[in-house]
Structure 1
């Protein structure tokens, strides 16, 4: 049985929109819980009932929610890798995240409790998402065994994050995810060998 008040989706949406707007207007440092609550027209307690910290709130608002949709099943590991790369790219490609990412990561790394929570809540769910994809590839006979999800996570996330947040070049003409799919598929296969 669920405890406490039911979540009101309108409040969640208003808070996420307030976060995105404040990140663009004022940056991560000035995007406070007080400012978010005021901008969303809700009480500060409503924000803290939903998210434990500013870092968690910003992550949910601009990268992805706590709960992830099941990964696409394209029928092949290569297709699934391309689909996962598309999801990663869409999650990381936004002006709000460009404003927030350096400070967000610094906040997470500076607080061991927050870092552990991020590892459990966000990284754990991202890796669980990848486990579903990898287990399908094993079941189809494309991989003899499931490679370490943490390594696969790093292999898929790293190039997209690097391109979007460190490079200034325009993505490849065929699209970033599509351009990375074949070499990163090969890397995943090598890990599962």
Structure 2
């Protein structure tokens, strides 16, 4: 086994793995850039070349990368809503995120520059992702107009985030995304009428 610094193409994976391990072991506050770099076997400069802050690094390691693949096209808005809810549920469910989310959100809210960057990089791209889904529904004639992407974003994200991170009960037996799909679909249709 070759030891030492990971090859260039393996740095991102090594860093994300180090973040997840440190969050599980020590929590968000003690998951520092120094600790991540040491755990991943890379220099701090390699980390800072890829991520501007600890919050951005943690977000990309446990929620999703800055770049998003296009949303699945299931052929119907109802199916697309269910698929997106499934993606949101899988990205927000996990022990590392449960330990990190309160402090991560506090860090983002406390720094206006970081908050603006998150709005641009993560929320902006998430809404762009939803615009693709909504525009397909308009093209198929399922919506008469594209509803406000921010409202749709809140309707999709809010219930999943609330259930996974605030409620003590486990998700419904049929699955959270499946349970939410019909009412969220109906709400999106009402907004796009």
How does the TM-score come out when normalised to structure 2?
0.96
Q: In the comparison of the two structures, how many residue pairs are matched?
A: 187
Counterpart residue number, 1:120: 120
Instruction: Give the structure 1 partner of residue 4 of structure 2.
Output: none
Cross-structure match for 2:147 = 147
Give the C-alpha shift of residue 173 in structure 1: 1.3
Q: What aligned pairs does 1:17-96 form with structure 2 within 5 A after superposition?
A: 17-96=17-96
Paired position in structure 1 for 2:156: 156
Which residue pairs with 1:186 in the alignment? 186
- Matching residue of 1:167: 167
CA distance in 1, matches of 2:87, 2:25: 26
Superposed CA offset, 1:29-83 (max 9, x none): 0000000000000000000000000000000000000110110000100000000
User: C-alpha distance in 1, partners of 2:60/2:17?
Assistant: 11
Cα drift, residue 10 of structure 1: 0.3
Q: What stretches of structure 2 of length at least 5 have no aligned partner?
A: 1-6
Alignment of 1:129-144 (within 5 A): 129-144=129-144
TM-score calculated relative to the size of structure 1: 0.96
User: How far apart in 2 are the matches of 1:11 and 1:126?
Assistant: 25
